[in-house]
Structure 1
């Protein structure tokens, strides 16, 4: 033990690592926002970039301070509440089905296709170069920390670009219909397959969650349907065909229906959603 203490005594202290990336202030008696500042317990007044005013009738429930890019970017997430009840949006109006894929991120039953941007793949070489430079620095040194910040900022840029594209795409879809149906796939299983990197880069799970939120925000109906067999079923007659990924155009031998594979899958998803949710409201559409 004495030898161990003597060996440790000669070592230089290493900088502490941050165990958490956020901390929460759960309760506030009064409004902590004073102009462009927020008053946090034990911190006092902190300057913030308040991008919108707190709506009338809402009170601040809690404040979470979030750190990004190894402590070089800080955000304040304010949770507000009001004593109101928001009813669930009923199924109504014009319906579309959404098929998610690696070639086209979105294919709708109406024939709209939106190609998938390769957010991570396009910047992979730059990220690899930054990580290689960081690995050559002495761990704990200032140059090592600067290199880690550059890597974290590039990851942050990729995530922000992907989320921005997902939000804009969700609004485009909400412009097309009143009821939107998506498959109930567990995308975590897809991420473990041989196309895992591309599945994670596409961010299917994040897009589905954001689409659900945008639908709620805009008063659109959102629901998921059974994903089994959507890629090998004819949307016209219901017969099954070969589920080969290399076949990008399907032609039904029974009814001669012919269409793009992803659009055909979206039509099957739409049919299942109409059958499950819209059977009592079919025919009531919103004028565009």
Structure 2
């Protein structure tokens, strides 16, 4: 089992200066390694049997990889001795980040989903220092011993479990200061194996929306807070202040810091709202069913600002993690016709988006449109479980029929 704890760091002035210097050096190295990747890719991406018309044929060179760029760090420290002050594993993590960003752009992740083209990081854009290995007893009371930094104070607002080992430590620079993230692991704790059968009694369906944040199949509504929209006037003034400052001046940096703090406040408000809503939902059912939303597709419409303000993607991912930790289950269902079909008789009742009440002419059911959709989501989750069980039973019967019967030999006693 592995999870992370985050604490507020309290470094002194010398440690802050050292962190800032490390981050700037790592940023320069990240851009240099990424530039190597782009240079090779631009000159070698032409097919072997064709000649580019815009340039001559380049001399063949070895492709920069994770291992070759990692080996180049030794020469880097000889050519630029100031990189010797950075811990070796921190530099190696910089190479790993470049390789990960480049591979996700060209090949995609495990599911084949590709990311955008990686960009060079401007000044102040490199914000994390990762220590892949730390000592087992590096934390003493409210202090942590980090390589080449020594003892750094932090606010220990919650204790670290004794049975868990600290695997990695990461320093992150945010708008309001520095934070320490500890990755904890205990190999003795087995991974959770959830075996829950969804039924109408233990399953709760939720319908995500913009009029209300969500409506449950029991009729309970959670209002949408719209933290970003409420802070738009403040955001507008801060953005105007940044644009009026001379770029690079101290007043410009101060205005940028104020703008970053505002965005951080909105993000924290949304995060707190999500966790409070998750706690409310998990107390009502062992199985939580929701729609499998295409958020990127929906965000291309005129409702994009409202959708991103609600934070559906973050909410559903946090819901899945919290449900797994609590021994509960989340199920994604196909959203097709969940708001059109009747949850009572199952027949389709077409309605416009402006119609907020579901009135079924077939069975006479009348209820809120979103609650009807939440009930359809719950019914689909229960039906998926029944169909999967029937399919497994059919496959088991087919396998038993194809399996040859054992031959029983009769042995007589002569």
CA contact (8 A) 1:170 1:211 kept: yes
Question: In structure 2, what is the equivalent of residue 138 of structure 1?
Answer: 246
Question: In structure 1, what is the equivalent of residue 18 of structure 2?
Answer: none
Question: In structure 2, what is the equivalent of residue 87 of structure 1?
Answer: 192
Higher RCO (C-alpha 8 Å, min separation 6): 1
Question: In structure 1, what is the equivalent of residue 309 of structure 2?
Answer: 201
The TM-score with structure 2 as length reference comes to: 0.61
Question: In structure 2, what is the equivalent of residue 77 of structure 1?
Answer: 181
- Give the Cα separation in 1 of the matches to 2:135 and 2:142: 19
Please report how far the alpha carbon of residue 57 of structure 1 lies from its aligned counterpart in structure 2 after TM superposition: 1.8
Q: How many residues align?
A: 264
Structure 1 stretches of 4+ moved >3 Å:
278-281
Please report how far the alpha carbon of residue 274 of structure 1 lies from its aligned counterpart in structure 2 after TM superposition: 1.0
Please report how far the alpha carbon of residue 279 of structure 1 lies from its aligned counterpart in structure 2 after TM superposition: 7.7
Please report how far the alpha carbon of residue 243 of structure 1 lies from its aligned counterpart in structure 2 after TM superposition: 4.1
Q: Does 1:192 align with 2:300?
A: yes
For the residue of structure 2 that corresponds to 1:104, the secondary structure is coil
CA contact (8 A) 2:130 2:171 kept: yes
Which of residues 370, 374, 379 in structure 2 aligns to 1:266? Answer: 374
For the residue of structure 2 that corresponds to 1:38, the secondary structure is strand
Question: In structure 2, what is the equivalent of residue 3 of structure 1?
Answer: none
Which of residues 267, 275, 282 in structure 2 aligns to 1:174? Answer: 282
- Give the Cα separation in 1 of the matches to 2:166 and 2:351: 52
Please report how far the alpha carbon of residue 30 of structure 1 lies from its aligned counterpart in structure 2 after TM superposition: 2.1
Higher strand share: 1
Higher helix share: 2
CA deviation profile, 1:197-238 (whole Å, cap 9, x unmatched):
000000011111111122122222212111122111111111
Question: In structure 1, what is the equivalent of residue 269 of structure 2?
Answer: 161
Instruction: Compare CA radii of gyration and give the structure with the larger one.
Output: 2
- Give the Cα separation in 2 of the matches to 1:192 and 1:48: 42
CA contact (8 A) 1:130 1:150 kept: yes
- Deviation larger for 193-202 or 234-243: 234-243
Q: Any residues of structure 2 matched to 1:80-159 within 5 Å, and which?
A: 80-83=184-187, 84-92=189-197, 94-159=202-267
Please report how far the alpha carbon of residue 124 of structure 1 lies from its aligned counterpart in structure 2 after TM superposition: 0.2
Alpha-carbon RMSD across the aligned residues, in angstroms, is 1.7
Query: Unpaired segments of 5 or more residues in structure 1?
Result: 1-15, 282-288
Please report how far the alpha carbon of residue 280 of structure 1 lies from its aligned counterpart in structure 2 after TM superposition: 9.5
For the residue of structure 2 that corresponds to 1:31, the secondary structure is coil
- Give the Cα separation in 2 of the matches to 1:268 and 1:63: 45
Q: Any residues of structure 2 matched to 1:204-215 within 5 Å, and which?
A: 204-215=312-323
The TM-score with structure 1 as length reference comes to: 0.87
- Give the Cα separation in 2 of the matches to 1:183 and 1:274: 14
- Give the Cα separation in 2 of the matches to 1:273 and 1:252: 22
CA contact (8 A) 2:356 2:368 kept: yes
Which of residues 127, 132, 157 in structure 2 aligns to 1:51? Answer: 157
Which of residues 139, 147, 159 in structure 2 aligns to 1:33? Answer: 139
Residues 37 and 172 of structure 1, relative CA distance in 2, 3 Å threshold:
same
CA deviation profile, 1:74-121 (whole Å, cap 9, x unmatched):
111110111121232222461110100001101000111011011000
CA contact (8 A) 1:91 1:278 kept: no
